[in-house]
Structure 1
């Protein structure tokens, strides 16, 4: 059997295929970002999924694409853990950006962007990823991501910048006790996932002028640092992956038009496209 996994910081989508390339099952686990989650916690999160552990010895291949898997050290950490659980599998661990490319443009040249818990972008020339800059993650980058907007919402609430009616709703929806917030930010695993959890508030109040303003500003910042520096022609296809892009499609397309760019497609969940790519292109 073969496992294909598309992993973000919040969750991982797993799909198992049999030798005939037919889907056996699909399941989710908690996020497996080896850049921000400890080895013990990574292993615990995989072992907690009984559907995976029950067939661990039957797996011959794993194609894992994940957030935080863009540099050698975290890749090795996650690969070692997977090899200890799936003992007969040939395992390939690659960055989530590559999964986004395969799910969006396949093997055709395009600009591909991720707007999920974190954010990233690249130009795919048909063979290789061209990254303008390395991603340094949620503390100083990740423009227009879930955790980026989560930070803005928290700051605006505590600085009393958030409109009072929205602040009242925000306070009712989340535990905003200072000690609780600080504990989750500085003492718990996955602070980026915790911050991104506040982004769901934006989905529920997307018509509010305040929400639309911060979303638009975030998207402009993303284009400024993550798309325009790629210096590609306006005819270059542009794909977006992730819930932030999906739920705020109208604002994203409006910002793109301001730069005379047009978005080719927005894909909320890339796993199905990714599996189809593997079915067609990889000799299982």
Structure 2
């Protein structure tokens, strides 16, 4: 059987598969070698993951995660090799390659991650050959949930959206403008807080100005990130909750900017099981 992981800083989704058949799905806390030392990662794998997998006979491990820079890959591979001594193959890659393999398979394409943050890459069917730096939600991350939330807050307090929408949001959340400002500037994980507003936005796309704002966010993503690859002939595939729940707006923005949207998945695991299980 093969074990495939899609990991972020907050959680890691694991799938145990026999070919293309999913045998078990497991959730553990997130892994990010950029922020966590070896012992912390080992404790998650040995202390959380292994007990949930039981006596599974894992022959190959394919791990895709955030923070997997080149310098951290040997450490991560060592951890998995030690934990799964019977594995004949261990592969550690960044989350962008995981997204590319999920939505493009072995074909050329442009792969994107559109969730709390945003990222994109030009994929030749084997590896990522180009990447526009996303720069994070303060300097960039166009198309992300965090930037969408930032745009929403700006618009409800500066007249860009109907007052009724502002009043509804504040009533439902029990917040004031001062509360929102404090949460963004004085508390940790402001990007996740801003991205959480996308749930409210998704339920009110019948408000024309709000839907236009979502499309504007995606248009900025294409014009500032995807256009740099100079390959409008390639399909643009995407993984992540923002791409998944706002697919219609993503497709409209792509069309205006001269691109075509390919596969869209909430999680890359479905595509990765097909990619690796078909070998």
Alpha carbons of structure 1 residues 238 and 140: separation in structure 2 relative to 1, 3 Å? same
User: SS of 1:3's equivalent?
Assistant: strand
**1:96 and 2:95 correspond:** yes
Which moves more between the two structures, 53-62 or 156-165? 53-62
CA distance in 2: counterparts of 1:134 and 1:73, whole angstroms:
19
**1:131 and 2:142 correspond:** no
RMSD: 3.4
Equivalent runs, 1:124-273 vs 2, <5 Å: 124-157=123-156, 159=158, 161-174=160-173, 176=175, 178=178, 182=182, 187-188=187-188, 190-232=189-231, 234-273=232-271
Alpha carbons of structure 1 residues 173 and 58: separation in structure 2 relative to 1, 3 Å? farther
Q: How many residues align?
A: 275
In the other structure, the counterpart of 2:14 is 14
In the other structure, the counterpart of 2:63 is 64
CA distance in 2: counterparts of 1:158 and 1:38, whole angstroms:
38
Equivalent runs, 1:105-116 vs 2, <5 Å: 105-116=104-115
Native 8 Å contact 1:9 1:118 kept in 2:
no
> By how many angstroms is 1:231 displaced?
0.7
User: SS of 1:263's equivalent?
Assistant: strand
In the other structure, the counterpart of 2:277 is 279
Native 8 Å contact 1:8 1:117 kept in 2:
no
> By how many angstroms is 1:181 displaced?
6.2
Gaps of 5+ in 2: none
TM-score (norm 1): 0.79
Native 8 Å contact 2:28 2:48 kept in 1:
yes
Native 8 Å contact 1:113 1:239 kept in 2:
yes
Cα deviation 1:114-145 (Å, max 9, x = unaligned): 21222111111233212243333333222111
User: SS of 2:148's equivalent?
Assistant: helix
TM-score (norm 2): 0.80
Cα deviation 1:74-130 (Å, max 9, x = unaligned): 65676677678x363664321111111111121111122221222111111233212
CA distance in 2: counterparts of 1:43 and 1:136, whole angstroms:
29
User: SS of 2:252's equivalent?
Assistant: helix
Which moves more between the two structures, 155-164 or 240-249? 155-164
